[in-house]
Amino acid sequence: MNKKLWQFGTREVVFAAIGAALYGVLAWATNFLQIPGAGNVSVRPAVAIPMFFGVVFGPVVGFIAGFLGNIISDLLSGYGFWFWWDLGNGIQGLIPGLIFLTIVNYRDLGSIIRAEIMVVLGVIVGMGIASISDIWVSGMDLLTVWTVDFLPAFITNAFWGLILVPILMVAYSAVQLRSGR
Amino acid sequence: MLVTWAYRFRNSLMERIDPRTRWIFSLLFLFSITMYWDMRFLLFFFAVAWLWYAGARVTFKETRRAWLLVTMLLFSMVIVNTILTGGGASGVVQGPGHPVYAVHFTIPVVGWTVNFSLTIERLWFGLCQIVRVWSISAIFIIIPYSMDPRLYGVTFRRLGFPDRFAFSMDLAFRYVPTLARDFAVTLDAQRARGYEIERVEGGLITQARRIAPLIIPVTIGSILSGEDMVNAMDLRCFGLRPRTWIVVTTYKWFDFAIIGFGIFMLIASIILLFYFHIGGFWVPPGIIPG
């Protein structure tokens, strides 16, 4: 079956939903993990889920998994609805998905490196857009947005993405062989 | 592990409003309020936001956690960015201002000169930031508490989003309890093998080592079950025709009135700001000395 980059068929509908639910549940369930010494700043290992779903199922799936997953996580935690952060999380999943067509073997070192580069790029653009929106909403200046919003989000998200996405890719290659897709 | 949504039926005014109206009004409110730094206008929006909040019949106890997060971020932003460094006020607060407190000293050894001056204007701007962000928060924080999760899919569909996106949304909400159960089973299984997942000590690397055996099996397991779901949906010819939805959303007269008020608010804000140049930062003359 021919794959298209922006395809959104049955397979994409299902995996976007699974990705979003996984991201939402895992982000909510791992709230207990915090950056040592920085009270109430939770680290979210689940951010790797939309990135991984983007790499494996395409940019549309990555975007919906991130966008919707962040909404679900906030709904479960009761934090409200913050559209610009949902959008940023969506972009974080969309950008790694742009190399979806180029990856055939998920164990291949070259594919993993390409995915890692896109993960970092996705975090920069996604969290950058979400952070910059605070200038518009709250009247913060660029330096504060950089230090208060962007840097902590970038460091933790890139860290989890860089560690978990390759592990998930290798694990998925076994599933791919089994499902034949 | 039990997953519970923050929503429960409250028989509130908010629940009678069409969910589409709520999204439309919330976004119109957001775009309108972000045009102002004038406290007189911000107080109007503040009143509207709290009326909206009161309509949801959500207690403060329920939303305490969200308010704590918003307020903590807001105050750190105001104290550091506006009052101490003046960074957030730049571009909005013009001129040197009227000092309330000033301190000038030189750091010995390095010889750096520190000139800190806290002005009335910056303090007032900080207050405007608090009112503006609290107003926006009041509108958006109540959404999870007052909107039935079953309505998200159909609402976004009726708002014009593609059918497949709306279905994906609906499916995601239904998957949450299943995945939470899978997560709990995996967590118990790993605990039985001696993993200490909940220990929060250690740096990020240690936490990554602890969390990977939890995330990987849940993710891969759900992908496997997803393949079965795809096959089942394909066999039922999913997506060949537009879907029908069980829940029917209908606009009532008050929905039109709320949307009309939101549109009026936005258009009036655009005219006031761009035509009359009203709504920018303003300090009451009464608080400026001399």
Do the Cβ atoms of B77 and A140 come within 8 Å? yes
Within 8 A by CB and 6+ apart from B219, the residues are A22, A49, A52, A168, A171
Identify which of A77, A139, A160 has the shortest CB distance to residue B129. Answer: A139
Bridge-based pairing of strands B99-106 and B113-119 is antiparallel
Question: Residue with structure tokens 């397991």?
Answer: B221
* Per-residue model confidence (pLDDT) at position A133: 86
- Predicted structure pTM score: 0.85
Cβ-based contacts of A35 with chain B (< 8 Å): 204
Within 8 A by CB and 6+ apart from B277, the residues are none
Within 8 A by CB and 6+ apart from A8, the residues are A60, B162, B164, B165
* Per-residue model confidence (pLDDT) at position A40: 42
Distance CA B215, CA B65 (A): 26
* Per-residue model confidence (pLDDT) at position B29: 95
Q: What is the mean pLDDT of chain A?
A: 86
* Per-residue model confidence (pLDDT) at position B198: 65
A179 interfacial to chain B (CB closer than 8 Å): yes
* Per-residue model confidence (pLDDT) at position B25: 96
Q: Is the pLDDT of residue A139 over 80?
A: no
* Per-residue model confidence (pLDDT) at position B247: 84
Sequence letter at residue B280: G
- Classify residue A104: in a domain, yes or no: yes
B161 interfacial to chain A (CB closer than 8 Å): no
Q: Is the pLDDT of residue A49 over 90?
A: yes
Nearest CA among B17, B18, B12, B257 for reference residue B158:
B18
Total tally of structural domains belonging to chain A: 1
- Classify residue A4: in a domain, yes or no: no
- Classify residue A82: in a domain, yes or no: yes
Do the Cβ atoms of B66 and A81 come within 8 Å? no
More confident residue, A35 or B266: B266
Using a pLDDT cut of 70, give the percent of chain A over it: 89
Give the containing element (helix H, strand E) for A132: helix A109-138
* Per-residue model confidence (pLDDT) at position A37: 44
Distance CA B179, CA A49 (A): 13
- Classify residue A3: in a domain, yes or no: no
* Per-residue model confidence (pLDDT) at position B97: 77
More confident residue, A2 or B45: B45
- Classify residue A65: in a domain, yes or no: yes
Distance CA B265, CA B33 (A): 9
Within 8 A by CB and 6+ apart from B260, the residues are none
Angle at B38 between CA B33 and CA B42, to 5 degrees: 45
Main-chain phi, psi angles of A31, to 5 degrees? -60, -20
Distance CA B168, CA B220 (A): 19
SS3 for A160-172, per residue? HHHHHHHHHHHHH
- Classify residue A2: in a domain, yes or no: no
Interhelix angle for A151-179 vs A109-138, to 10°? Answer: 140
For residue A114 the two structure tokens come to: 């390409």
B287: Cα within 13 Å, side-chain hemisphere: 13
Give the ipTM: 0.89
- Classify residue A17: in a domain, yes or no: yes
More confident residue, B118 or A113: A113
Do the Cβ atoms of B141 and A17 come within 8 Å? no
Distance CA A55, CA A63 (A): 11
Q: Which of residues 218-237 of B touch A (CB under 8 A)?
A: 218-220, 222-224, 226-227, 229-230, 233-234
Interhelix angle for A10-29 vs B204-235, to 10°? Answer: 150
* Per-residue model confidence (pLDDT) at position A29: 81
Q: How many residues does chain B have?
A: 290
Identify which of A80, A136, A163 has the shortest CB distance to residue B137. Answer: A80
DSSP string, chain B: -----S------HHHHS-HHHHHHHHHHHHHHHTT--BHHHHHHHHHHHHHHHHTTT--HHHHHHHHHHHHHHHHHIIIIIIIIS-TTTTTTS-SS--EEEEEEEE-TTT--EEEEEEEHHHHHHHHHHHHHHHHHHHHHHTHHHHS-GGGHHHHHHHTT--HHHHHHHHHHHHHHHHHHHHHHHHHHHHHHTT--TT---S-HHHHHHHHHHHHHHHHHHHHHHHHHHHHHHHHTTTTSS----SS-----HHHHHHHHHHHHHHHHHHHHHHTS--SS-B--GGGS--
Q: Is the pLDDT of residue A39 over 50?
A: no
- Structural domain boundaries, residue A106: 10-179
Identify which of A8, A69, A175 has the shortest CB distance to residue B220. Answer: A175
Query: What is the 8-class DSSP label of residue A102?
Result: G
> In chain A, how many H helices and how many E strands?
7, 0
| CATH number of the domain where residue A152 is located | 1.10.1760.20
B6 interfacial to chain A (CB closer than 8 Å): yes
Identify which of B132, B168, B212 has the shortest CB distance to residue A16. Answer: B168
Q: Is the pLDDT of residue A1 over 50?
A: yes
Residue A89 binned pLDDT confidence (cut-offs 50, 70, 90): very high
Do the Cβ atoms of A9 and B239 come within 8 Å? yes
pLDDT values of chain B reduced to their tens digit, one per residue, 290 residues: 667 777 888 899 999 999 999 999 999 999 999 999 999 999 999 999 999 999 999 988 888 888 888 888 788 778 877 777 766 665 677 777 788 877 777 888 777 877 777 888 888 988 998 999 899 999 988 888 888 888 888 998 999 988 889 999 989 988 888 888 888 888 888 888 887 766 656 666 777 777 888 889 999 999 988 888 899 998 988 888 888 888 888 999 999 999 999 999 999 999 999 999 999 888 998 888 86
- Classify residue A77: in a domain, yes or no: yes
User: For A74-80, what is the mean pLDDT?
Assistant: 76
* Residue A156 DSSP SS3: helix
